[in-house]
Structure 1
Amino acid sequence: MAGTDVAGSARGSDAALGKTGEPPAAARSGAAKKVTLALLASFSALLYSQIQPPPSKIPGTPGGPPVTAPRTRLKDGRHLAYLESGVPKEKAKYKIIFVHGFDCCRYDVLNVSQGLLEELGIYLLSFDRPGYAESDAHPARTEKSVALDIAELADNLQLGPKFHLIGFSMGGEIMWSCLKYIPHRLAGVAILAPVGNYWWSGFPPDVFKEAWRVQFPQDQRAVWVAHHLPWLTHWWNTQKLFRGSSVKDGDPAMLSKEDRLVADKFEKRTYEKQVRQQGEHDSLHRDMMVGFGKWDWSPLEMENPFAGGQDEVKVYLWHGVEDLYVPVQLSRYISERLPWVIYHELPTAGHLFPVADGMPDAIVRSLLLGDE
């Protein structure tokens, strides 16, 4: 009986292990799944750590950049750094707020001649947009919040009920938000080479495709990621496997013939390191995420916000045909859809035309005095 029991036990063990003495398929499959899940979890954790941007360096805090500019505190506790020029605001006939573009700061204000500032009595204000230079970052920034920041900045500095606005590039795109959310504060608007969101409703497929193809392939990919996978924007533009945004990298291949003549004005900026001193994510990357993100509305569907008003408020849109940063096709079509926008298309100009000799004064004269 004992021998029989041993033999039966052996046969049972053989059956459990299988004829070859190996664990059954079900056991092997279970172990493989556990290993796969463990590897997947480790990979996911590694990927998550790689795509997370580093924390911002907050101006005025230990380890952060120093605060050297005058700043105003907003209602939510954030600070905006600003720069004033022109005549004193108490004596000014015109008050203009300039909104800088991508990878810029308050010092990149439109270089209006001192003669014109004094002749027309212009007070000119520029500021660091959130996350740039010395203005606090705004992780919840939207296309609407920037417009509200501008209105609050004007109130804090006591500019009065109305002011003029000039916005360049990414700052130009913000002008559409100001026209939507704070039109009652605006005395006039100049939109210079504005970034356009390819996914705004209203663009016909042929306009979209024509503008899309103007971009370099790496910029097409960077813009696509910013729109569809915004959480991946930081990693995409900092990894070294393949090229990220040419605009962010300052690729000289994007300069048009006329841009090359004025590019040294940007290359010689003594304050260049200050622009990104808080980190790239809350300045450059968030600009892309908001600018190319999913908006709840489209500028192409806007009605004239000044129709029927007592004051004649004019909106000017300027764009260069040879612009390789921001395709002219988007601005051209927007101007066709919005007849209340006065459009100036510059046949030989690139993206940097606002810094060309004489252009700042021409833009400001047009805005304040009308086209001559």
Structure 2
Amino acid sequence: MAGGVNRKISAASARAHTRKSRQSSSFRLPSGMFKKILVVLLMGFLAWAYQAIQSPPPKICGSPDGPPVTASRIKLSDGRHLAYKEHGIPKDRAKYKIVYVHGFDSCRHDVVVATSLSPEIVEELGIYIVSFDRPGYGESDPNPKRTVKSIPLDIEELADQLGLGSKFYVIGFSMGGQVIWSCLKYIPHRLAGATLIAPVVNYWWPSFPANLSKEAYYQQFRQDQWTLRVAHYTPWLTYWWNTQKWFPASSVAEHSTDILSHQDKELMLTKLSKRKEYMAQVRQQGEFESIHRDLMIGFGTWEFDPMDLKNPFPNNEGSVHLWHGDEDAMVPVSLQRYIAQQLPWIQYHEVPGAGHLFPYAEGRTDAIIKALLTGEK
């Protein structure tokens, strides 16, 4: 019989053959190539992440690319410059000499105890006040090695170079008030007296009862809670967190008025409008070495607990005062009350109906100064 042999192919065999053909024709990366692509992608992500968390170098005043030097400055022992501004009567005639420490996102021009103090009291008591730009602010050189201890030592050098004598007074407002704790720790022998005005607290100071600090911490806006968490637990992410656009960062750094009390908002309009004239100078050397480092130091792990401090004036040769408003929405009054209980040698003044900016209210600075210098209540 002529002709080929006919074979019948089953449907199942046909489908299996089709699958095999499709599988054999599909493109496959060699396993080694796939791993290399993953490594390249990972390296690219890490490079991007590293760049994102790196702060730009500061624009140091007086450098070729930096702002000009316009302020009076001293040169510190480590080579940095500290800018300062003098107020009141000349220091050679002064009976009382005060070093003033400004707050967060501020500078030497923000010196409420000079700008709001009655001229009559300045002359009557003989008051000299010097304010200075804290490192990285205004025209003071940044201090990348800044610690809780370093600013009190800067203050001591400033006082010595200006000839303020063996003892002087210190007053600090807000974040500057927090610095006064460090002065009481590291240079108590140089102090004639000290005043903390609405001082910022560190929620991680060990002596705070956990329930009290937790309750106060959660009174803040959520964005501020996260900002402080980052500054405390992962300070190397502080620059990235405060410059990224995905989540809101510090409401204080953004100058949000939502965190202010009713009184604070009124004072902003009537007493602080002149800040616009010099606000550009505050962060002119860069945000990282000014406001970001403030967050990292102020809310980092401290070398000491303020509530372990001893009375620097056991023989009543001086005094320490703490002033706070009971409607302060930025720094919870509950924590200041606890501090005052733990340190009975501090004269605690709680101002009813007052917010964070209460020292700008009419007559308030006069009372603060008189209490410190003359003991008037």
**What are the within-5 Å matches in structure 2 for residues 165-180 of structure 1?**
165-180=170-185
Separation in 2, partners of 1:364, 1:305: 19
Separation in 1, partners of 2:37, 2:96: 69
Match of 1:42, SS state, is: helix
TM-score, normalised to structure 2, is 0.90
TM-score, normalised to structure 1, is 0.91
Q: Is the 8 A contact 1:60 1:66 kept in 2?
A: yes
Instruction: Tell me the residue number matched to 1:275.
Output: 282
Separation in 1, partners of 2:35, 2:162: 63
Separation in 2, partners of 1:34, 1:62: 44
Separation in 2, partners of 1:258, 1:124: 27
**What are the within-5 Å matches in structure 2 for residues 138-153 of structure 1?**
138-153=143-158
- Structure 2, unaligned stretches of length 5 or more? 1-22
Segments ≥4 residues shifted beyond 4 Å? 19-25
Q: Is the 8 A contact 2:171 2:195 kept in 1?
A: yes
Instruction: Tell me the residue number matched to 2:19.
Output: none
Separation in 2, partners of 1:340, 1:209: 26
Instruction: Tell me the residue number matched to 1:266.
Output: 272
1:366 matched to 2:371? The reply is: yes
Q: CA deviation at 1:22?
A: 8.8
2:85 to 61, 77, 83: 83
For residues 314-343 of structure 1, give each alpha carbon's deviation from its aligned partner in whole angstroms, at most 9, with x where no partner exists.
100011111111111221111111111111
Q: Is the 8 A contact 2:85 2:109 kept in 1?
A: yes
2:298 to 269, 276, 291: 291
- The one-letter code matched in structure 2 to 1:293 is G
Separation in 2, partners of 1:122, 1:306: 22
For residues 17-38 of structure 1, give each alpha carbon's deviation from its aligned partner in whole angstroms, at most 9, with x where no partner exists.
xx9599999x51x433322221
- Structure 1, unaligned stretches of length 5 or more? 1-18
Q: CA deviation at 1:239?
A: 1.2
**What are the within-5 Å matches in structure 2 for residues 131-210 of structure 1?**
131-210=136-215
- The one-letter code matched in structure 2 to 1:124 is I
Taking only aligned residues, the RMSD between alpha carbons, in angstroms, comes to 1.6
Q: CA deviation at 1:360?
A: 1.1
Separation in 1, partners of 2:311, 2:120: 34
1:106 matched to 2:137? The reply is: no
> Which has the larger Rg?
2
Q: CA deviation at 1:357?
A: 1.2
1:211 matched to 2:222? The reply is: no
Q: Is the 8 A contact 2:102 2:134 kept in 1?
A: yes
Q: Is the 8 A contact 1:210 1:329 kept in 2?
A: no
- The one-letter code matched in structure 1 to 2:311 is N
- The one-letter code matched in structure 2 to 1:104 is S
Q: CA deviation at 1:306?
A: 2.7
Instruction: Tell me the residue number matched to 2:9.
Output: none
Q: Is the 8 A contact 2:148 2:303 kept in 1?
A: no
Separation in 1, partners of 2:86, 2:44: 52
For residues 253-293 of structure 1, give each alpha carbon's deviation from its aligned partner in whole angstroms, at most 9, with x where no partner exists.
11101101111233431111111111111100000000001
% identical equivalent positions: 57
For residues 208-231 of structure 1, give each alpha carbon's deviation from its aligned partner in whole angstroms, at most 9, with x where no partner exists.
122112210000000110001111
Instruction: Tell me the residue number matched to 2:75.
Output: 73
Separation in 2, partners of 1:24, 1:258: 70
Match of 1:84, SS state, is: strand
1:51 to 50, 53, 56: 53
